[in-house]
Amino acid sequence: MKEKIIKINYEHFGWNVLSKFSVLANNEKNIILLFADFFVIEKKTNQLSGRVVVFGGSGSLGRSLITLFNKNNWEVTSIGTRANDEATHNIVVSNDESLEVQGKKVIQDTSSLLNGEKYDAILCVAGGFCMGNLAKEDFLETADLMLKKILNPSLIASKLSTVNLKEDGFLMLTGVADLQSTPGYIGYGIAKAAVHHLFNSIASKGRGLPKNTKFMAILPATIDTSNNRKAMPDADFSQWIPLDLLTRRIFEYTNGTLSVPQGKMVQITTKNGDTNFVEL
């Protein structure tokens, strides 16, 4: 009789399980199992959790989302005017191109990348901000820029969902909290109001989305990002939404940890460090 060590590596619900057994054997055909010595269990690192598109992947919220999705084994396609090195794929568009040209490029490029597959989620967090009332010399220029940075990506994301989003997939747009008149930044306000109108139309019958699509819009107030701190160094940051908290919340909507408030806008505000999510 002699002792043998046998290692068995097998899969169970997406986990790698390595079991080491000590056995006694008197020949190769008669093996008597004595005991399991130990188990080593590790999550498979190469198992794909899902496929997600992030519009605005080079912005503060987009970058934060892509980092988190990467850590959780998602295939991420970033769409925007700049590439994101962390993304699995990048589709770079130019604001000098028309909405139609950008949209056709995004649909064509994503279809090529997918090779017959579909996305689990399409998230639009693209944005920007410009001050400017009617008296500003560059008012028309900045208003046009806001439409290109805020409304156009939302339109393309919504159209893309009709082509390359799975049935039961997730679509999310981004508006702004407590939107009223914006005399000091008219272009921004118009663009966000248009996104709100787009979402309300999506939430109505006859929208054209894939079967059982889950969809919502987030309406955040000011998010605590490094760029916002640089732009407003004297602001009270305790009234701003923590970037990590918002990132985690969106991720949990996407992966199903949190139920999507179907067809709802969710207003997000922070007061004295306490962040609230209110369905409208």
> pLDDT band at 36, cuts 50/70/90?
very low
Structure tokens at 127: 């944005």
The pLDDT tens digits for 219-271 are 999 999 999 999 999 999 999 999 999 999 999 999 999 999 999 999 999 99
Radius of gyration of the chain (CA): 24
Residue with more model confidence, 181 or 14? 181
d(Cα 143, Cα 165) in Å, to the nearest integer?
A: 31
Query: pLDDT > 90: what percent of the chain?
Result: 84
pLDDT at 10: 43
pLDDT at 45: 54
Residue identified by tokens 């909405």 is 99
Contact 243, 64 (CB under 8 A): yes
> pLDDT band at 14, cuts 50/70/90?
very low
Mean model confidence pLDDT for the chain: 90
Of residues 10, 119, 185, 188, which has the active-site annotation? 188
Residue identified by tokens 């000091």 is 184
Residue 12 above 80 pLDDT?
no
pLDDT at 7: 44
The pLDDT tens digits for 256-265 are 999 999 999 9
| Range name among 11-20, 85-94, 101-110, 232-241 with the lowest pLDDT average | 11-20
Structure tokens at 194: 């248009």
Q: Which helix (H) or strand (E) holds 210?
A: none
The answer to whether residue 10 is catalytic is no
pLDDT at 37: 46
How many of the other CB atoms lie within 10 Å of CB of 147? Answer: 18
Residue 134 above 80 pLDDT?
yes
> pLDDT band at 29, cuts 50/70/90?
very low
pLDDT at 226: 97
pLDDT at 77: 99
What is the pLDDT averaged over residues 70-81? 98
The pLDDT tens digits for 54-69 are 999 999 999 999 999 9
Residues 6+ apart with CB under 8 A from 208: 162
> pLDDT band at 144, cuts 50/70/90?
very high
Residue identified by tokens 């819009």 is 217
Domains of the chain (ranges, CATH numbers)? 2-43 (no CATH), 50-279 (3.40.50.720)
Contact 172, 218 (CB under 8 A): yes
pLDDT at 8: 46
